[in-house]
């Protein structure tokens, strides 16, 4: 479904992502784990077209996205839930959700999509006219996920969705991601929460200092010495 080939991304003279290749097969959850500053957001923002890449390319369902502007990525089935959620805090829950379906094809399905999101997250239905900035962290994450779902994506890119949330709410977010995959949407999940993201993933990559240093099945990676020491504190 998604193929990233030999991607290099940087800021000014500095290169933050070096020669990254990865793949998300249809209907799977792929996770990329890595510490603070490893380049996770840089990578995912480049895949989402928000940041330009220096070289390499991203293909979605066989289409090269190199010359596709970022606002058209949703037409190719890609939606991102950015780090820190990036909601419009002064707008209502429903207005935020509607920002997810601004493209014509998605706008035609607005009512149906909104109904689906409210069915998935009944609390958002109750709070539809409340300002997004007044919601709890977990509820704000639901708005960010709901906003992405409004575009009816085939692939969702999650940038550290568990960040800053209480443990119980984190469990809830991982359950939501699992449900989304069961419904046929593929997922690329960038996380520092190694245990839980490995637990729901079909395959995983380890990103350190802008390089992929390991990849494979989560169970294999979790058995490696380096992963146990650096990420699991064993
Ligand atoms: N806007 C920017 N300008 C210059 N350098 C940046 C910028 N954003 C990130 N960097 C640098 O790029 C590298 C990768 O940062 P990035 O934010 O992608 O890491 P990350 O893995 O997402 O970290 P975190 O877990 O803290 O979110 C870091 O060295 C960071 O300092
Ligand atoms: Mg980040």
Is residue 203's pLDDT more than 80? yes
**74-94 pLDDT tens trace:** 889 999 999 988 999 999 999
pLDDT value of position 21:
97
83 CB within 6 A, ligand 1: yes
37 CB within 6 A, ligand 1: yes
40: containing domain: 1-77+155-234
Q: Which residue among 40, 85, 160, 189 has the greatest number of ligand 1 atoms within 8 angstroms of its CB, and so is best to mutate? A: 40
Task: Write out the residues surrounding ion ligand 2, Cβ under 5 A.
Answer: 40-41, 83
**Three-state helix/strand/coil letters over the chain:** CEEEEEEEEEECCEEEEEEEEEEECCCCEEEEECCCCCCHHHHHHHHCCCCCCCEEEEEECCEECCCCCHHHHHHHCEEEECCCCCCCCCCEHHHHHHHHHCCHHHHCCHHHHHHHHHHHCHHHHHCCCCEHHHCCHHHHHHHHHHHHHCCCCCEEEEECCCCCCCHHHHHHHHHHHHHHHHCCCEEEEEECCHHHHHHHCCEEEEEECCEEEEEECHHHHHCCHHHHHHHCCC
How many folded domains does the chain comprise?
Answer: 2
| Atom number in ligand 1 closest to CA 207 | 21
| In a shared domain, residues 34 and 72 | yes
| In a shared domain, residues 168 and 219 | yes
Gap from CA of 38 to ligand 1 centroid (Å): 7
Q: Which residue among 32, 38, 48, 82 has the greatest number of ligand 1 atoms within 8 angstroms of its CB, and so is best to mutate? A: 38
| In a shared domain, residues 70 and 165 | yes
Answer yes or no: is 82 within a domain.
no
Which of 152, 186, 204 is the last residue before a domain boundary? Answer: 152
Nearest CA to ligand 1 atom 8: 42
Closest ligand to residue 16's CA: 1
Q: Which residue among 39, 45, 46, 160 has the greatest number of ligand 1 atoms within 8 angstroms of its CB, and so is best to mutate? A: 39
Nearest CA to ligand 1 atom 7: 11
The torsion region of residue 21 among left (phi > 0), alpha (psi -120 to 50) and beta comes to beta
| In a shared domain, residues 94 and 189 | no
| In a shared domain, residues 70 and 91 | no
Gap from CA of 34 to ligand 2 centroid (Å): 9
| In a shared domain, residues 13 and 71 | yes
Which range among 11-15, 99-103, 135-139, 217-221 shows the weakest confidence by mean pLDDT?
99-103
Which of 137, 152, 167 is the last residue before a domain boundary? Answer: 152
Is residue 6's pLDDT more than 90? yes
| In a shared domain, residues 124 and 164 | no
Gap from CA of 13 to ligand 1 centroid (Å): 14
Answer yes or no: is 129 within a domain.
yes
Mean pLDDT across the chain? 94
Closest ligand to residue 51's CA: 1
pTM score, whole prediction: 0.95
193 CB within 6 A, ligand 1: no
| In a shared domain, residues 67 and 162 | yes
**33-71 pLDDT tens trace:** 999 999 999 999 999 999 999 999 999 999 999 989 888
């Amino acid at each position: 479904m998604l193929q990233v080939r030999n991607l290099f991304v940087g800021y000014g003279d500095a290169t933050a992502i070096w020669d990254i290749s990865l793949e998300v097969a249809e209907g799977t959850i792929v996770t990329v784990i890595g510490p603070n500053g490893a380049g996770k957001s840089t990578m995912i923002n480049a895949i989402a077209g928000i940041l330009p890449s220096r070289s390499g390319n991203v293909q979605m369902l066989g289409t090269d996205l190199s010359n596709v502007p970022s606002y058209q990525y949703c037409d190719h089935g890609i939606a991102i839930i950015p780090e820190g959620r990036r909601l419009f805090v002064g707008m209502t829950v429903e207005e935020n959700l509607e920002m997810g379906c601004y493209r014509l094809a998605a706008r035609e399905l607005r009512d149906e999509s909104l109904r689906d999101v409210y069915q998935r997250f009944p609390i958002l239905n109750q709070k539809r006219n409340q300002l997004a900035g007044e919601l709890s962290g977990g509820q704000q994450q639901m708005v960010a996920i709901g906003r992405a779902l409004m575009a009816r994506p085939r692939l969702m890119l999650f940038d550290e969705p568990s960040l800053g949330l209480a443990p119980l709410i984190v469990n809830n977010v991982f359950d939501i991601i699992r449900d989304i995959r069961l419904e046929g949407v593929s997922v690329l999940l960038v996380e520092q929460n190694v245990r839980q993201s490995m637990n729901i993933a079909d395959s995983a990559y380890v990103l350190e200092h802008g390089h992929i240093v390991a990849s494979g099945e989560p169970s294999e990676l979790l058995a490696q010495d380096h992963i146990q020491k650096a990420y699991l504190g064993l």
